[in-house]
Structures are given as structure tokens and as C-alpha cells.
Amino acid sequence: MKVHARLSSVAVCLVGLMGVLPAPAPAVDTGDWPGAYTSISGPACPGGARWRMVMLEYSVNGSGATLSRDPSVLRGYQTTLQEAADTVAQASACAVTWDVDIVDMGPRVYDSGRGADPPSAPVQAYKARGYDIVMFRYPSNGDAADFVGKTNTTSWIQFPAGGSHTESVFPWTTVVIHEWLHDAVQQLGGRGELGFPPDDVHWDFWKVEPYASIYASQGAYAVAMAYYTDLIAGRVPVDGKLKGFSSNDWIMWGTPSHPLRQPANLWVDGGRAKPKGWACVRVSSSSAEPVSITIDGPGRRWDTTLSVVPASSNGQAPTATARFRSVRGPWRICAVQPADPSARFVADNECTSLYL
């Protein structure tokens, strides 16, 4: 099986489950970023969410390794992306689909080292053009031995192509969908109407039914496709319940470049304050809705409401602070914030325990 692992905020798909699944070409900053030479699109899907992505094809890396630019290779690669887009649309009943622009980076060199993040300049340049995700296909600098795909779950995905496959390989449909699903989970802040399986995309699905039987009879590719389509459709069975994305999740949350709903990222903390015998509570949120605070401590309870002011010009998250009388001992502070009237931010709650 392919081994999956998370490194900080980066989702890495290591070589194993589906064999060595390398990929092809990415870019370097010249200040003149090319446009697409061709595009693929999923079905029209009126009313559904459309993720706009770009694939940057690099044919040479900093060590001089190259990828074939033979038209037959590129056609096969485009077929892979088209199949992925169609699969996503079909699995979601047209609640979500993709548009992918493919860019030939020409003589630009993919100069990031083994295991390194992709160059930031093209990510920033193409994100500024309104793309949700910037993908890189490039000659492996050794990392094709380490992973078949990697994403930071917010802006980029890497697909290294290397070894004996350098001339012809492109990422499998399941690998492209897998990496995109990481970004889709992140778009919902890990939340959804139905909830997600343990470790969402990286769940050991091939060990449980019905996926274990599919893996035993049809192999790794078939079981991966079965699980990912079930995850997209919200029909992954976990402890008697169906998990995954609902149609509302896809339609109501939008995409990274055009978010419709998002978590308010509510945060709460507390600590001692002056003068002696006082403590403070602090909350932070992206939403301006009032936050209900409940403070429980030794022999006392305190309820209040804090108003979070709009974000300041320095870009820091808006915060609110209040003081309360305290005694030594364990305290628990909980914050609850409703959805805002525009439904941009969903309801949120957060608790913290501390000893004052």
C-alpha cells in the first residue's frame, strides 16, 4: 500500500500503494509568466462549485534532468486530468467540478531541491490571476523516490516525474484527485455536514470493508478510486454512518479563490492579570459576531459576551479581551460564536482549560 504522511501543514503521498507514480513539469521567475496552451474542463454543472486550477509543466530541472515534450506524452497527460475532472463531477452529482489550464513553462528551470517546496514566485503569480491551486509537473530532482504527490493544502501541489519513467510518466488519476481532496478538506476547515473518516484523505480505507474486498479482488488503483469517489459523494461507511462531503458542502463553501463560507477560526485563552486576584480572557475570530463566554472555576461561574472588532490594518486577527475575578485552581473557559447573517462564517465554539 502507499504510505501516507502529514508533515506540518504539508500532505505528502509517499511511494508505495500504487507503485512509483512520478509526474512531469514546473517553473522559475522571469517576470513574464506564460498563459495556457491548452485547457481541460469538467461538465458544465450549473450551480455547482468550479475549482480553477493551473498545471505548470517544466521540462528541465536545476540538475539538467529533462522530460519528454512529445505530443503523445502530453495527450496522455491531458487525458488523465480530463478523467479526474469528469470523475469528480460524476461522483458529486455535479455539485463540484474543475477547470484546469495547462501551461508550458518553456525554457524555465524547476530549481527547487529534493523534497523542497515549489518556487514561490509562480505560485504567487498564478494565484494572483485567480487560480485556486497551482500544480507543478517537473523532472524529479530525486523526490520521485520519496513521494508521488505533495500539497500544502492551500495553494500548490507537486508531481515529480523521475527515474526510468522520466520520459513518459504523468500522475495517475487517483493521485491527482487525492492531492486535490486535501485542499478541498482544508477549504471546509476540516468540517462538513456529514463529518469525515478518521484522518480524512489518509484514512487506512483498504483495511476496512467494503474497501478491503475491492483491494483484494481488483487492486490498489480500483480501491483508491472507490474510496475517493465515495468521499466526494459523502457515502464512506464509518461506524454505521456515512461520511464525506455533502452536496451542500461543495456548493455552499465555494473555492479558495472564491470562498462562500468558512470557519471563523475562533480562539480563546486566559491568564492571570493585575492587580492580584484578577484574570483575563482573550478571544480572536475572523467573524465580527458577538462571542458568548462561559468561565467556570472553583466555586464560581461567570457568563459574558465579547464583541470582536473588525480586523485591523496590520493584518492581525481581530481580538477582544475582558477581566474577571479569580481564585487559584483549575478554570475552564468556553467561547461560542453564531454564524454571521451573510452565512460567510459558520458557527463555531472553542474551549480551553488552565490553572490560575
Q: In terms of DSSP bridges, do strands 4-7 and 96-104 run parallel, antiparallel, or are they unpaired? A: unpaired
Domain ranges of the chain: 4-255, 267-355
Q: Is the separation of the CB atoms in 288 and 342 below 8 Å? A: no
B/e letters for 266-303, b = 16+ CB within 10 Å, e = fewer, are bbbbbeebeeeeebbbbbbbbbbbebebebbbeeeebe
Instruction: Give the three cell numbers for residue 250.
Output: 461543495
The residues, any chain, with a CB within 8 Å of residue 274's CB and separated by 6 or more, are: none
Q: Is the separation of the CB atoms in 326 and 355 below 8 Å? A: no
pLDDT at 114: 81
The amino acid sitting at 297 is G
Q: CATH class for domain 267-355?
A: mainly beta
Q: Is the separation of the CB atoms in 335 and 351 below 8 Å? A: yes
pLDDT in tens, 44-96: 998 889 999 999 999 888 888 888 777 777 777 788 899 999 999 999 999 99
Question: What mean pLDDT do residues 121-150 have?
Answer: 87
Summary mean pLDDT of the chain: 82
pLDDT at 135: 95
HSE, CB side, 13 Å, CA atoms: give it for residue 302: 18
Instruction: Give the three cell numbers for residue 348.
Output: 463555531
Q: How many CB atoms lie within 10 A of CB 150?
A: 24
pLDDT at 11: 54
